[in-house]
Amino acid sequence: DTKGALDTYTALMEYDEENGMACYLRGTMYLMTDEPKKALADYQEALEREMGNGALYNKIGENLLNTGHAEEAGKILTQALEKEEETAEDFREKGYSYFLLGKYDEARTYLDKAAGMEDTEAIFYLAKLMEAQGNVEQATLLYESYIGENEGDPELLNTMGLNRMGEGNYEQALTFFRKALEQESPVNLQELRRNEIAALEYLYDFAQARDKMGAYLVDYPEDTAAAREYEFLKSR
């Protein structure tokens, strides 16, 4: 119900003029519905309301990068770099801004600083940096370290599962996906369910994969690729 969501965010923005997250969420809705000008206006309003929130710059930058708006993302992320760092969170978010901009050396400097200040989130970003640079072994060690501190993070567990899939360790990948699915209301539920099915296919457990795909399609009938794959699974 896109209209309902937009109306709700608009009401929140009008009710609380200091609520930057409502602006961010409405902007993200506009971005998802291919209205980038409206999205950028809302994003700028969100940043003005949430002065000093480095994480918000990165959320916006990441959204824009993921939807093909690299130039606009670069402008937002460059704004983030102008903020003076004082806390571990400041160093971490500035490091992640550099990471999103593809400036890996600078990213490493700031993320190392944050990690040295015992910021566990910086470990997660360092793992992403190692992964982007092709150092999968080091990335995996960092992810595992982060999991020890944040065992209930479904996004992280999904990433770990995908790493194990890439290494051909499908049993362990399945374990990570299922652990993520055990968490309460994971935001990446649909992706996790598809990844669980993929791991089962790699393990040649076609019967279980078929049953789970049938249940998946009841909840996500619009996934035409999954529907085609279901036909294949029914023939196994």
With contact defined as beta carbons under 8 Å apart, do 201 and 216 qualify? Answer: no
Scanning the structure block, which residue is given the tokens 């993320």? 111
**pLDDT of res. 61:** 93
**Under 8 Å CB-to-CB from 12, ≥6 apart: which residues?**
19, 22
Q: How far apart are CA 94 and CA 10, in angstroms?
A: 30
pLDDT mean over 163-181 = 85
Q: How far apart are CA 128 and CA 140, in angstroms?
A: 9
pLDDT in tens, 101-157: 999 999 999 999 999 998 888 998 998 899 889 888 888 888 888 877 777 788 888
What is the dihedral sign for C-alpha 182, 187, 189, 191?
A: negative
pLDDT in tens, 156-167: 888 888 877 877
Specify the range with the lowest mean pLDDT, choosing from 13-22, 165-174, 226-235: 165-174
pTM, entire model: 0.70
